[in-house]
Each structure stands twice: as C-alpha cells, then as structure tokens.
Amino acid sequence: MRLGRTGWIGLAALAVVGCQESSGKVALPEQPTAGAVVVGTAAEVRPTDSGTSWMSGTLEPYRRSTLMAQVPGVVQKVLAAEGQRVRAGDPLVVIRDEDYQLRLRQAQAGLEAAEAQARNAELQYRRLQELRSQEAVPQSQLDVLEAGWKAAKAQIEVASANLALARKALRDTVITAPYDGIVVRRMISEGESATAMPPTPLVVVEKTDPLELKLQVPSSQADRVAVGTPLKIRLPASGQEMDAQVTRLVPSANPGSRAFLAVVEIPNPDGALRAGVYGEARLASPDGTGGTSR
C-alpha cells in the first residue's frame, strides 16, 4: 500500500511521540528563567527587584553665574578661557579704564572744592557770630551765613558720594570670579564693546564642587524619601557608583509629572564628575546595599 505525503508526516509524528513516551519525559521548549536577561542564546540571572524603583536625574553645578558688564566700555583683556579653573577674585575681563580714571580725579577734585567751601562758610559764620554777640550785626545776616554753611556741608556729602561712585566704577572695569569654579563659556573678545544697559554677558562660571544630582522622586516613593535618606547613586555613562544622602527636598510635587524634587550634593574635589551627566539613585537597603542594579 502506498502512503501519500500526508500519511508519511503522520507516521513521523507518531514516531516522535513514541520516543518521548518511552523515555518518560515530554520535551518542552526551554523558557528563560524568571528574572533573567536573555542575551542571544545565553541568560544572565540577576537578583529580582527589591520593590524600590530607580529615581533619575541630572548632575548640575552647585552654582552657575553669567557675569555681566557693570560699566560700559571697550574690552581691553579677556583673561578667562573656556575650561579654565579660577579662584574667587581672579580677574576674568578687563575694560579700558582711562575714562574712569579721569572721572575719579574729577570726583576727588570736587570733594576737595566742597570741603574748602565749607571751611570758608564756617569761618565767615564764626566771625559774624562773634559780631552778633556784640549786637554789631542783625540776626538775619547771621541766619543767612548759617544757612550757607549748612549748604556747604551738604555739598561735602554729595561730593563724597560722587567720589565713592567713581571709585566703584573704576573697580567695575575689572570683572572677577565670584567664587572658585570653572569657566564654561566666554562670550566676548578683546576690542568688542560692552554695555551696562542692557548689561552685556561676558563669561559663564560654574561651581562644580560639589555637584548637585536633582532627582525626580515618584509619588509612590515620596513617603520613603526625606532629608538625610541614604541613597545608592549610579552614573550609567561611566559606571560609577557611590553612597550619598538626600541634602534637600522640595515638598511640593510637580503638577505635570506628580514627582517630587530631591537634591543630593556629591563632592567633586578633583573635577572627575561632569555637570549634565544623567544619574540614577535608589534607596539604600538596611544592610547598606542599594538592592539590585539594572
């Protein structure tokens, strides 16, 4: 008896089943182990999640300042280079100060003149006061000199204020670093003009020690995060891991994401960590570990 194509296929299937029954086992397709990550044909088994979700955020500088021109003028020197580390008080940009030197001299001369006028007014008043004590002059004349003397003393105050302003303007021709940090951007060059109204941005300085990791805390984890809460920090880009604590917490949730903001200060004395890098954090377990890593 001849078998068609369908008959041969059926016989082959029966033979396979018979072999499986004879061995006492039924072959089933292999399934990945729970909690395993399949890479190609191999599965790497990792511990299951402890129930604490990862919180993500970005490393940001502790401070960031855009330094502006305080007085107008032509830029004489730019001493700051992008990537340069600076100390508080280091000069970064210098504006030509010839005009401000002249204004300072003018203000000094104005103060000297006001003081001379006040001394003269006082002298005349004292003389007339003596004559008035002898009733040699009317009181009205003495009153006029007294008013002139008071006006002269007020002019001293005005001249002193002008001198202080001139000194400040001269100091403002040198823009200095407000704190220890790094220059991340330079926006002006020698020979360019800077204005004070509106102020011209000159350089941007960042303080990167410490850095701040600003984390988005989901509402489901909010009751477990407070100031001082220990965390395990991970920077996926570099693979770095570290221990840290929550430094500040904003108790008001973002209306859009319903997440809370937690800030973690991370020391960075050698500048190895970079602002702008993505970071992750999770609550540290009681034994000091951070649970599982992804």
Give the model's pLDDT for residue 34: 36
Task: Kindly indicate the confidence band of residue 255, based on its pLDDT and cuts at 50, 70 and 90.
Answer: confident
Residue 24 Rama label (left phi>0; alpha psi -120 to 50; beta): left
Domain co-membership, 179 together with 90: yes
In the predicted structure, residue 35 carries a pLDDT above the cut 70:
no
Give the model's pLDDT for residue 287: 55
Its pTM stands at 0.70
Q: How far apart are CA 202 and CA 95, in angstroms?
A: 11
Task: Kindly indicate the confidence band of residue 135, based on its pLDDT and cuts at 50, 70 and 90.
Answer: confident
Give the model's pLDDT for residue 52: 60
In the predicted structure, residue 16 carries a pLDDT above the cut 50:
no
Domain co-membership, 198 together with 212: no
Query: What is the arithmetic mean of pLDDT over 126-135?
Result: 82
- Quick check: is 291 in a domain? no
Name the residue with higher pLDDT: 15 or 279.
279
Q: Please give the mean pLDDT across all residues of the chain.
A: 82
In the predicted structure, residue 219 carries a pLDDT above the cut 90:
no
Peptide bond into 210 cis (omega under 30): yes
- Quick check: is 234 in a domain? yes
CATH number at residue 139: 1.10.287
Domain co-membership, 196 together with 217: no
- Quick check: is 288 in a domain? no
Domain co-membership, 133 together with 249: no
SS (H, E, C) the chain: CCCCHHHHHHHHHHHHHHHHHHHCCCCCCCCCCCCEEEECCEEEECCCCCCCCCEEEEEEEEEEEEEECCCCEEEEEECCCCCCEECCCCEEEEECCHHHHHHHHHHHHHHHHHHHHHHHHHHHHHHHHHHHHCCCCCHHHHHHHHHHHHHHHHHHHHHHHHHHHHHHHHHCCEEECCCCEEEEEECCCCCCEECECCECEEEEEEEEEEEEEEEEECHHHHHHCCCCCEEEEEECCCCEEEEEECCEEECCCCCCCCCEEEEEEECCCCCCCCCCCEEEEEECCCCCCCCCCC
Give the model's pLDDT for residue 25: 43
Give the model's pLDDT for residue 137: 76
CATH number at residue 82: 2.40.50.100
Give the model's pLDDT for residue 165: 97
Domain of residue 151, residue span: 98-166
For residue range 171-213, what is the model confidence (pLDDT) as tens digits? 999 999 999 999 999 999 999 999 999 999 999 999 999 999 9
Triad 57, 206, 96: Cα angle to 5°: 155
Domain co-membership, 215 together with 242: yes
Task: Kindly indicate the confidence band of residue 51, based on its pLDDT and cuts at 50, 70 and 90.
Answer: low
Give the model's pLDDT for residue 234: 93
Task: Kindly indicate the confidence band of residue 261, based on its pLDDT and cuts at 50, 70 and 90.
Answer: very high
| Count of domains for the chain | 4
- Quick check: is 149 in a domain? yes
Domain co-membership, 156 together with 109: yes
- Quick check: is 13 in a domain? yes
Task: Kindly indicate the confidence band of residue 254, based on its pLDDT and cuts at 50, 70 and 90.
Answer: confident
Domain co-membership, 89 together with 196: yes
Domain co-membership, 108 together with 238: no
- Quick check: is 231 in a domain? yes
In the predicted structure, residue 37 carries a pLDDT above the cut 60:
no
Domain co-membership, 73 together with 183: yes
For residue range 61-82, what is the model confidence (pLDDT) as tens digits? 999 999 999 999 999 999 999 9
- Quick check: is 143 in a domain? yes
